[in-house]
Structure 1
């Protein structure tokens, strides 16, 4: 039975669900893993995740499709990205098959928390790997935990598909040759202060420029940036310190193959915003959030509108969500059925 939840007014916050998956790495291998009702982790005080930031995570969603089935959207790509994050932090990789099977188990065990089709809600999955065990020196742990929990969510930014304004931060999100391309907690911890300052000034979040020259847009809060040029090209920043967003690469494909646009990963200079008629932030949590305007120092640049969604952004949003909710034909291997 579906839970008694106000599905249409879900925010993006934690709601405890019935089961979560947990697997332990010890003596050089992962165990089989299991589902548990316990939402509290029991770890050593010497865990490297606590002291040295040896941890990474992922985010993906389960969707109740139009035909009643349950979709996972490109979970193999989340598995690959987590493997790269683990490699960067000297943690054991979680095999793709194990990752996807664990996701399926968690969704199936918590199906009653999956928002019904038509509400706009989804079941958000948070896989993570942490270094644990009795450690004290600065070195990789010998033991690890891989776990996945889930929670029903609505829109990440209030209002759903409505333009939001952002402000350019003076802070850097990541170092030029640091961990910006890995989905690790330290990147997000450093964004809390600039994010809080942006919200204090009534912006949705901060925009980060490239750490080397501070001339090019890299990320929008915890999301990737994209823009539509005045001659209908889809462009998104390229940099070794940007997290490779699965949503962004999906939009690159859809913009080219479904909308017929030219696409490009390249430089987006903060002083050349006049080249673009639309812009947006994209990611698993944000999906697509249209950017109404960007505050950069004393300058405020408006794209399509501060109140209305641009037509290309709307078309991309409809195409992406249509695929995720089973309303439109998905490219091959993009959808994995839970049931």
Structure 2
């Protein structure tokens, strides 16, 4: 078998968007506080996960995630963009919400396995498209109380082929001056779900008004501190 394999021909790559596409599977690895170690990464073909309804990750938002991409190169090889930095950021996020911090090498092992086993879903070179990689970490043990932390945690790594999220042209942003995305000395620097869910209603409002993204101000309501995109440009007129 030639590695890496060619992109699958099952759909039109020129029309790839950012919707969920079914791929071959995802990766899971589990952590137990009692044992103090992670299990070997497991390959799972079912995209649905089974956890207890009283897991802290479901009830208290004890979860964090990452987002990175893999791209097919001109020579056909597949490269993942700076995954070590995403591993470190996940450790940073996990430290905010009492989750076990995945070692960098273990994080990379899981990511590489997920990409390798879904290599046919990495888009062709030259389209601007790539494979979006979503590592997701949360408390999966059953526990209703807030203390002590649960014993069971799971790191999942999902992937989907994607196009350019907002296209290749500039988009207008709605500046939110009536909502604080994160509090001073809070979790704003962590990639935790609790930072994102409250923005949904504002994002819906922005969309209905014709704006592509929301732009959030700092604690003094004076300067943009974050947005629903990774990068933005501020021009003083």
Instruction: State if a TM-score over 0.5 links the two structures.
Output: yes
Give me the whole-angstrom Cα distance separating, in 2, the residues matched to 1:107 and 1:65: 14
Q: Secondary structure at the residue paired with 1:191? A: helix
The 3-state SS of whatever aligns with 1:225 is coil
Report the alpha carbon displacement of residue 31 of structure 1 after superposing the two structures with TM: 0.8
Q: TM-score, normalised by structure 2?
A: 0.92
CA distance in 2: counterparts of 1:10 and 1:173, whole angstroms: 31
Residue 39 of structure 2: aligned partner:
31
Query: After superposition, where does 1:2-151 map in structure 2 within 5 Å?
Result: 2-26=8-32, 27=34, 28-139=36-147, 140-151=149-160
Q: Structure 2 vs 1, CA of residues 67 and 193 (structure 1 numbering), >3 Å: closer, same or farther? A: same
Count, aligned residues: 227
> What are the ranges of 5 or more consecutive residues in structure 2 without an aligned counterpart?
1-5
How far apart are 1:16 and its partner, in Å? Answer: 1.6
Indicate the structure whose relative CO is greater, using CA pairs within 8 Å and at least 6 residues apart.
Answer: 2
Does structure 2 retain, via aligned residues, the 8 Å contact 1:3–1:113? Answer: no
Relative distance call for 1:224 and 1:177 in structure 2 (3 A) is: farther
TM-score, scaled to structure 1 = 0.65
Q: Deviations over 1:167-209 (max 9, x none)?
A: 1112111111211100011111011011111111001011100
Question: Unaligned stretches of 5+ in structure 1?
Answer: 230-272, 275-339
Determine whether 1:219 maps to 2:192: no
- CA deviation digits over 1:120-168, x for unaligned, max 9? 21111000101011100113322100010100000111xx221111111
Aligned to 2:3: none
CA displacement, residues 239-265 of structure 1 (integer Å, 9 cap, x when unaligned) = xxxxxxxxxxxxxxxxxxxxxxxxxxx
Moved over 4 A (4+): none
Larger strand share, 1 or 2 = 1
- Give the match's secondary structure for 1:197: helix
The answer to whether residue 205 in structure 2 is matched with residue 183 in structure 1 is no
Q: Distance in 1 between matches of 2:181 and 2:50?
A: 31
Distance apart, 1:79 and its partner CA? 0.1
CA distance in 2, matches of 1:134, 1:183: 23
Measured after TM superposition, the shift of residue 65 of structure 1 is 0.4
Distance in 1 of aligned mates of 2:226 and 2:132: 22
Q: Shift of the alpha carbon at 1:226?
A: 3.6
Q: Deviations over 1:67-104 (max 9, x none)?
A: 11000110000000000001111110111111111111
Offset at residue 223 of structure 1 (A): 2.6
In the aligned structure 1, how far is the partner of 2:46 from the partner of 2:69?
A: 21
Rounded Cα–Cα distance in structure 1 between residues aligned with 2:18 and 2:85: 23
Name the CA distance, whole Å, in 2 between partners of 1:195 and 1:69: 37
CA contact (8 A) 1:198 1:206 kept: yes
